[in-house]
């Protein structure tokens, strides 16, 4: 950083002044210019280590896509120079697209100074050949990954976060649904307002009302004082309800009533309190299971699911597994004051081939254990031990799947035999089985 020359191109003089003041003591030189037309001349006459480039200018060139135009010009002239795009909320989709066209990263106005300095340092160290983990970073929250599914997820988040739409976040345990909720909140228009989180799946019916809607003194035995509920505490801000798929039908009815009326009535009171919240919900229950009317009210699904976000399981993220593993190696080597070991080739293969029923959380804990036990410069396959708890869960899931398939096959055979009044020849023909194969199944299921 201290020896770097930074070129800043932005038609807003306030932005240029702010960057120059911030970087004055951090880098060797800051060259600031309002006109992107001067970029080729500047690059030709002096060494530049990094470019900070605005996404949009008032010039007539490629209106609406000026940043992408000048990004491509810079890359054609000096492909080795890292380019960081400066953007506002409205152009985040273009900024995400710029990453595919060669940009190193992007920052959102107004930025946090510490975040901007970190992005600059990472980009310069990457230019100088140091290892850099690819991160999609939004307002200080990192999601490590470069797989297509993660890029698509991040792109979707940049589109929906600034809106006030209710979001339902779906995904298996350990995929990072709470991290996604945090990212959405940080990029929302309510980012500076209250952010309240509740694990509603752990609440009994009585606690559910008291925690969410509040209570008045004397409303029940232990109600010694008035207490505002989580809805009221989140007023003007964001409320995150985790494990929403595990609440009872009675709790769902009460939640739906509040979401429809936008008012809460504390226990022990008859006075409604208006609330203004943005609602985020998360569950590991698949949407198809939620749609079962006997388990979850469809009218509530429509209320909480203006936009649906599906967080992919780790096993579908390819080489992100190794990026995350290296990230956790660095993290826990630093935590336990050890030198960070490198991944052996066999270890990398072991990590890539694991199913990860516990997802990112399982990988994280496995790497932490490995770092604690490892005393060499290389992390070997035997150093990485996956959780026996997750292995047991996986075995149970496989057994359940096998049982369900057997039940389905047995029921199908019974229906076809009944349809043909016990005629085995006709039944086997419809089932696509030989008579011998059908007799084996009849014996297997004691039919």
Query: How far is the C-alpha of 219 from the C-alpha of 38, rounded, in Å?
Result: 70
Output the pLDDT for position 116. Answer: 86
Residues 438 and 222: their CA atoms lie apart, in Å, by 64
CA–CA dist 317, 188 (Å, integer): 27
Task: Tell me which residue of 278, 298, 264, 260 sits closest to 166, measured CA to CA.
Answer: 278
Per-residue confidence (pLDDT) for residue 195, from 0 to 100:
93
Interatomic CA distance for residues 188 and 303, integer angstroms: 19
Q: Which CATH class is domain 398-444?
A: mainly alpha
**CATH number, domain 160-310, options 3.90.650.10, 3.40.50.800, 3.10.20.600, 3.40.50.300:** 3.40.50.300
Residues sharing a CB contact under 8 Å with residue 46, sequence separation 6 or more, in sequence order = 5, 31
CA 111, CA 94: separation in Å to the nearest integer?
17
- Rounded distance between C-alpha atoms, residue 447 and residue 445, angstroms: 5
Are 264 and 232 spatial neighbours (Cβ–Cβ below 8 Å)?
Answer: yes
* Alpha carbon distance 12, 57 (integer Å): 9
Whether this model's pTM surpasses 0.85: no
pLDDT (0 to 100) of residue 435: 72
Q: Where are the beta strands (DSSP E) in 62-162?
A: 83-87, 105-108, 135-138, 141-144
**Cis geometry, peptide bond prior to residue 110 (ω within 30 degrees of 0):** yes
Q: Do domains 5-132 and 160-310 have the same CATH topology?
A: yes
CATH architecture of residue range(s) 314-386: Orthogonal Bundle (1.10)
Q: Can you spell out the DSSP letters for 281-349?
A: EEESS-HHHHT-TTTS-HHHHHHH-SEEEEPPPGGGSTTHHHHHHHHHHHHHHHHTT-PPPEEPHHHHH
Calpha distance 235→238 (Å, rounded): 8
**DSSP of 24-37:** TTTSSEEEEES-GG
DSSP string, 385-432: ---HHHHHHHHHHHHHHHHHHHHHHHHHHHHHHHHTTT-HHHHHHHHT
Structural contact between residues 281 and 168, judged by C-beta atoms closer than 8 angstroms: yes
pLDDT of residue 401: 52
> How many angstroms separate the Cα of 299 from the Cα of each of 277, 289, 294, 302?
19, 15, 13, 5
Local structure of 6: helix, strand or coil: strand
The CA distance from 399 to 413, in Å, is 21
What confidence score (pLDDT) does residue 63 get?
47
Question: What's residue 131's pLDDT?
Answer: 39
Q: 5-132 belongs to which CATH class?
A: alpha beta
Residue 117: count other Cβ atoms within 10 Å of its Cβ.
16
Give the start-to-end residue ranges of the domains of the chain: 5-132, 160-310, 314-386, 398-444
pLDDT at residue 142, rounded to an integer: 54
- How far is Cα 334 from Cα 341, in angstroms, rounded to an integer? 11
pLDDT along the chain (447 residues), means of 10: 88 89 89 91 88 75 68 88 80 68 81 84 67 41 78 88 93 92 91 91 83 81 79 94 91 93 90 95 87 82 91 94 93 92 93 93 94 92 79 50 63 82 79 73 77
DSSP states along 232-268:
HHTTTSEEEEETGGGS-HHHHHHHHHHHHHTEE--BT
Give how far Cα 283 sits from Cα of 108, 287, 300, Å.
Answer: 29, 9, 14
Question: First vs last Cα of the chain: how many Å apart?
Answer: 77
């Amino acid at each position: 950083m201290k020896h770097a020359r930074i070129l800043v191109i932005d038609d807003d003089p306030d932005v240029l002044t702010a960057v120059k003041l911030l970087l004055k003591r951090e880098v060797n030189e800051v060259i600031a210019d309002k006109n992107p037309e001067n970029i080729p001349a500047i690059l030709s006459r002096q060494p530049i280590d990094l470019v900070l480039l605005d996404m949009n200018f008032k010039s007539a060139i490629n209106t609406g896509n000026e940043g992408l135009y000048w990004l491509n010009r810079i890359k054609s002239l000096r492909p080795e120079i890292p380019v960081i795009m400066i953007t506002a909320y409205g152009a985040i989709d273009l900024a995400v697209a710029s990453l595919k066209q060669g940009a190193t990263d992007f920052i959102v106005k107004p930025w946090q100074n510490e975040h901007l300095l970190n992005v600059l340092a990472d980009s310069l160290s990457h230019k100088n050949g140091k290892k850099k983990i690819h991160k999609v970073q939004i307002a200080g929250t990192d999601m490590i990954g470069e797989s297509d599914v993660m890029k698509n997820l991040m792109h979707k988040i940049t589109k929906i976060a600034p809106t006030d739409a209710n979001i339902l976040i779906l995904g298996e345990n350990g995929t990072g649904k709470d991290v996604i909720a945090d990212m959405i909140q940080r990029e929302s228009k309510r980012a500076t307002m209250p952010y309240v989180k509740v694990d509603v799946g752990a609440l009994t019916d009585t606690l559910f009302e008291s925690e969410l809607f509040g209570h008045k003194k004397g409303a029940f035995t232990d109600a010694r004082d008035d207490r505002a509920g989580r809805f009221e505490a989140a007023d003007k801000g964001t409320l995150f309800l985790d494990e929403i798929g595990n609440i009872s039908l009675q709790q769902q009815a009460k939640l739906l009533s509040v979401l429809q009326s936008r008012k809460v009535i504390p226990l022990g009171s008859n006075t409604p309190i208006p609330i203004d919240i943005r609602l985020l919900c998360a569950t590991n229950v698949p949407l198809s299971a939620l749609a079962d009317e006997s388990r979850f009210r469809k009218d509530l699904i429509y209320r909480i699911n203006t936009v649906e976000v599906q967080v992919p399981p780790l096993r579908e993220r390819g080489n992100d597994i190794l990026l995350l593993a290296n990230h956790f190696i660095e993290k826990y080597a630093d935590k336990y004051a050890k030198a960070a070991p490198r991944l052996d080739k066999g270890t990398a293969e072991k990590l890539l081939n694991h199913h990860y029923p516990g997802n990112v959380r399982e990988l994280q804990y496995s790497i932490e254990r490995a770092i604690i036990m490892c005393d060499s410069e290389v992390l070997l396959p035997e150093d990485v031990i996956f959780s026996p708890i997750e292995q047991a869960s996986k075995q149970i899931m496989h057994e359940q799947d096998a049982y369900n398939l057997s039940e389905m096959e047995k029921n199908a055979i019974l229906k076809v035999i009944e349809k043909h009044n016990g005629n085995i020849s006709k039944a086997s023909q419809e089932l696509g089985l030989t008579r011998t194969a059908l007799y084996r199944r009849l014996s297997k299921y004691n039919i």
